[in-house]
A = this chain, B = another copy of it.
Amino acid sequence: MPTPTPAPRVTIRDVAQAAGVSAATVSFVLNDTPGQTLRPETRVRVRAAASELGYQPHRLARALREGSSRLVLLKVGALPATGRSLPSLIAGMEAELHHHGYALVVSYGDPGRDTELLEAVAPHTVLDLPAIYASPEATADGGWAEGFAAHTANQLGHLIDRGHRSIAFVVPHDPATRGLARLRVRFAQDVAAQRHAALRVVELSPSASVVEMLRALRPAAQSTPPTAVAAFDDDTAFAILSAMVDLGWRAPDDLAVIGFDEGPHAALWHPALTSVRIEAEEFGRRAALRAIGLDPGDWIGTPSTVTPRATT
């Protein structure tokens, strides 16, 4: 069992003693507290002593005093972690927060269980992704949803550009992704309406198989059956591709398939899956800035690109 810190802590008092000043002065210097007049040479002496001793402020003590610690908690819940957008969002946030002396804690646990976590880390800000996605006016919240709107437009756009006019939008049956799915559906409908394509929304059922769902897509009576499927995410696309093999259908001729939020498996799959690649790193940086109360400045949007492969 590894023990955390056997080394004796260097406190602010040690630094104060070494620099020949009081602890308060050390705090003023190291935090650049505004409204404090200090002799430049004192500042130098304090800083020298601090780095000499390798002083690291005890963040728990600081958090106790300040009321919250310099941490941002990102609640991810049971959101699908297959795509690259979440990891890249996290990477971006982490990098930016690090730059400002903050740290990121990512919670994948179920929401009911995170009371301890919340209490124990006393985050400066909590970003609850499932909650954001689930809220109806998610669009109003600083760009979270605008991005998804653009990416969804990208996804459907790719199919429409290739001539598809009747498209099925398939979402999984999963309470964890309900909010996000609803959001995506709304955006997909907007795009379809604008570009004069017919959109059919299909929710996978836990009872019926994907094969049955696909069969139902093409009843004899239906005049214009969908020629393409836009999936909620790559995993949904894989499930569809898998069922297509069972049916003897081939992509893209019998049915084109496009995934969303491209993950590492898209290129590996047979046939290789066309998907929408979302680079959320820059977006993560901006989310981080907003979270700690800094102005992220102007913004044009998260870039997303469609990587065309075998299934479209």
Q: B-contacting residues of A (Cβ < 8 Å)? A: 1-5, 56, 58-61, 63-64, 68-71, 81, 87, 90, 94, 98, 101-109, 113-114, 116-128, 235, 238-239, 241-242, 245, 264-265, 268-270, 290-291, 293
| Chain B residue contacts of A122, Cβ below 8 A | 4, 59-60
Find chain B residues with CB under 8 A from A94 CB: 109, 113
A1, A70, A118, A128: which has the most chain B beta carbons within 10 Å?
A1
Q: How far is the CB of A123 from chain B (nearest CB, A)?
A: 6
Of A60, A242, A265, the most chain B CB neighbours within 10 A belong to: A60
- If A61-B64, A106-B106 are given as contacts, then 12 extra A-B residue pairs at C-beta distance below 8 Å, sorted by A number, are A4-B123, A69-B120, A71-B117, A94-B109, A94-B113, A98-B116, A103-B117, A104-B109, A105-B105, A235-B265, A238-B269, A242-B269
Main secondary structure of the interface of A (DSSP, over half): mixed
**A4 touching B109 in the complex, CB below 8 Å, given contacts A268-B235, A270-B245, A270-B270:** no
Q: How far is the CA of A84 from the CA of B252 in the complex (A)?
A: 31
Per a CB cutoff under 8 Å, which of B103, B126, B264 touches A4? B126
B238 touches A268 (CB 8 A): yes
A64 to B290, CA, bound (A): 29
List of B residues within 8 angstroms of A58 by Cβ: 64, 119
In the complex the two chains form, is B64's CB within 8 Å of A60's CB?
yes
Please determine whether B90 and A102 come into contact, CB atoms closer than 8 angstroms.
no
Structural contact, B270 and A242, CB atoms closer than 8 A? yes
Least CB distance from A150 to B in Å reads 23
Residues of B within 8 A of A4 (CB): 68, 118, 122-126
Q: Can you report 15 A-B residue pairs in the complex whose CB atoms are below 8 A from each other?
A: A1-B293, A2-B125, A4-B118, A4-B122, A58-B119, A60-B64, A60-B120, A87-B108, A94-B109, A98-B113, A103-B117, A238-B269, A242-B269, A242-B270, A265-B265
Residue contact B1 to A291, C-beta cutoff 8 Å? yes
What's the Cα separation between A1 and B295 when bound, in Å? 12
Contacts of A125 in B (CB 8 A): 1-4
Distance to closest chain B CB from A65 (angstroms) = 10
Contact A116 B101 (CB under 8 A): yes
Chain B residue nearest to A246 (CB atoms) is B270
Our pick among B81, B242, B293 for the contact of A268 (Cβ within 8 Å) is B242
Q: In this complex, what residue of B is CB-closest to A293?
A: B1
Docked Cα-Cα span, A290 to B2, in Å, equals 11
Once bound together, how far apart are the Cα atoms of A242 and B273, in whole Å?
Answer: 13
